[in-house]
Amino acid sequence: MTELFRSGLLMSKKRRENCVFFIIFSVVFALFCRICFLQIFSFRFLQKKAEKEHLALVKFPAFRGAILDRKGRLLAVSLPAESLYVSPKFIQEPEKTADILSKYLGEEKSGLLKKMGRNENFVWIKRQLNREDYEKIEELHLPGVGFCEEFKRVYPKGILASHILGFADIDGKGLSGAERENDALLKGESGWYLLIKDAKRRVIPSLERKSKEGSQGLDLILAIDEKIQEITEEELEKVYQEFHASAATAIVMDPFTGEILGLANRPTFDPNSPGSFSPSFLRNRAITDLFEPGSVFKTVTAAAALEEGIIKPIDRIFCENGKWLYRNHFLHDHEPYKNLSFQEVIAESSNIGTAKVALKLGEEDLYRYACSFGFGEKTGIDLPGEIKGILRPLNKWSKYSIIALPIGQEIGATPIQNICALAVIANGGKYVKPYLLKEVRNSEGMVVRQTRTESKQIISVKTALTLTSILKDVVKKEGTAFSANVYGYSVAGKTGTAQKIVAGRYSHSKFVASFIGYAPADNPKIIVLVMLDEPKSLYYGGLVAAPAFKEITRRVLAYLEVPSENLVATNENLITENTKKKYSHE
């Protein structure tokens, strides 16, 4: 019995020993597996975590490229600016620090205290300080307060060319205009370096390791000329104020290359403080606003008819004494014209005469030429936000479209589309793509990219020359734009007075007045568009837009030193009541 009891005790002891051994073995095995897992499978994760604890990646911004005009005059540049931050954990006296910063920065103390109360190592207080505030605060050596050098985007000419340049945000990212369109070229590449910290997350200066240099952004050379831009803006501002228009646009372009020499809109804004202006002021109306072109489109109808050989300038057309019924719609002229030559139809801006020519041309050819002249598609100008306008396909035309479209109705176009269309006549029949970016240069001044002119012949030189001859008559005393005459130079152009559509109907009180012309007519150096949206008191293109065209053209040609053609001067102040009637409907 005793032996059995002893035997049982021994077995029980052995089982306990085995159990303890198994537990110890299991724990050791689990630890071994955990170590293997950490060493093999979690190595990269733990390595990154350790680096995060002991390494700090500090980025420093790249120097954004400058924007200059075609003659190298500075339009946009980045300048060094100090930005203020705090490290809340190192601020010894938050109340006192907030008091001091509030005094210099003009910010609420409560807001500063809230920022200082964050459980973070780095909190922005105010970025891109002016030099005076920076120097005053820096002299105080406040614990936990530091500065970081950034670059502030500056536009030294203020509102000049604001819709072309656009603007960049506080981080140097382009948000509109050329700044946005060419952001990838301008921004460069930020540099960075690593800081090594001890166990208490303090920087060890001797172990600072710089890892990568930043690269400077590229400089943009635009096609615009600062002086031409100034002239354009000055004259546009005058006419915008004189007629109390809701908006206005002016464009100066080289009709042969497509280079935009000047482009302005009203209302405008200052890119140094875009947030101070209504969003509508920031809109580049030259590429985003849609209008019926009105009589400006008659040049397209005329070009198509001449090119297809269905009409000659001397052919006569019966204009129905100013009132014509077609498919239950009355079409009117501003004068009770009887028989006019085709040349007179365009010069006098007869709706009936133009519509009759379009009927001979036919819907398909009219639509094809409208497309060729760039309507219904974006011009491709290198600015963000361009719209393509409205040109309905043939299967969506109404039975009235064949006499509406030829006189610039039932079609929507932007100012840039309109000037590109008329440039076809000015340059000898080529559709030219407009552009703003002329060259891209690196920090050493070397040209790394150039824009080449893109063009396509869409009508013959003969047709273009014939139309130029016709459009010269528009600015004669008998035409609709006598006030567009420029002393010493021949001018060719076309007026437009289009009713705006309000609530689905043509308004009898809201109009868009325009004039597009080029000079010298037979060898044009520039083509100029002036367009006013809802001018007051007068609204005819020949009376509102044409005089502004004259002043822009006169001043630009003088600036470019284009030789005078020694033409006989016209009495440009002789505008009688009868002449005004001719302007009243283009």
Active site residues: 295
Entry field: residues in the chain = 586
**Among the listed residues 264, 298, 19, 52, the one whose alpha carbon sits nearest the alpha carbon of residue 163:** 264
Answer yes or no: are the C-beta atoms of 526 and 254 closer than 8 Å: yes
Q: Token pair of 114, please?
A: 């809230």
148 has which bridge partners? 83
Tell me which amino acid residue 378 is: K
Rg (CA), the chain: 36
Provide the sign of the torsion angle of the four alpha carbons 39, 44, 45, 48, taken in this order: positive
CA distance 481 to 329: 28
Backbone angles phi, psi at 6, to 5 degrees: -65, -40
Tokens standing for residue 157 = 């000419």
* Residue type present at position 390: I
Instruction: Name the residue among 234, 202, 219, 207 with its Cα closest to residue 78.
Output: 219
| Cβ-Cβ contacts under 8 Å for 41 (sequence gap 6 or more) | none
User: Angle 558-552-386 (CA atoms, 0-180°, nearest 5)?
Assistant: 125
Q: Which residues pair with 78 in a beta bridge?
A: 153
The helix/strand/coil state of 20 is helix
Map tokens 């002229």 to a residue: 333
Query: Rounded to the nearest 5°, which phi and psi values hold at 402?
Result: -65, -20
Helical (H) or strand (E) element with 144: none
* Residues 6+ positions from 229 with CB-CB distance below 8 Å: 69, 160, 161, 164, 261, 262, 263, 264
Give the Cα separation of 144 and 93 in Å (integer). Answer: 10
Phi-psi region of 219 (alpha: psi -120 to 50; beta: other; left: phi over 0): beta
Do the beta carbons of residue 101 and residue 116 sit within 8 Å?
A: no
> Cβ atoms within 10 A of the Cβ of 321, count?
12
Compute the distance between CA of residue 215 and CA of residue 401 in angstroms, rounded to an integer: 57
Q: How far apart are CA 262 and CA 341, in angstroms?
A: 37
Cβ-based neighbours of 105, under 8 Å, separated by 6 or more: 84, 112, 125, 126, 133
CA angle in degrees (0–180, nearest 5) for 135-77-102: 30
Segments of 240-398 assigned E as strands: 247-253, 260-266, 316-318, 323-326, 329-332, 339-341
Q: Are 116 and 86 in contact (CB under 8 A)?
A: yes
The token pair at 226 is: 């600062």
